[in-house]
Amino acid sequence: MRALIVSTLMTLGLTGGVAAADNYHHDARVEHYRDHRVRPAPRFERHDARRGYRWVGGEWRWGRGEWIWMPGHYIVIARW
């Protein structure tokens, strides 16, 4: 019985970790653009100013035969 409880808790913990990791990319919008000769125009991304963070804008990246939009994100500003 104890082994069943432990394995159930471990399974729930692992699936919760996967769900939390997946939430990091919740705002990723995939748009397929396959013209390899021309990079698509950058997208406008609305973001708020956050104290202690800097916004890094998104960009188009070429991969697997198409342009893929990588959305922008915040990075922590190093304080020395």
User: Model confidence over 27-61: pLDDT tens digits?
Assistant: 455 566 777 788 888 889 999 999 999 999 999 99
The pLDDT of residue 35: 79
Q: Name the DSSP class of 38.
A: S
Whole-prediction pTM value? 0.52
Q: Could you tell me whether strands 73-76 and 53-56 are parallel, antiparallel, or unpaired per DSSP bridges?
A: antiparallel
Beta-ladder partners of 16: none
What does the mean pLDDT of the chain come to?
A: 75
The pLDDT of residue 28: 52
CA–CA dist 59, 39 (Å, integer): 10
H-type alpha helices, the chain: 2-23
Q: Name the DSSP class of 65.
A: T
CA–CA dist 34, 62 (Å, integer): 9
User: What's the mean pLDDT in 19-23?
Assistant: 39
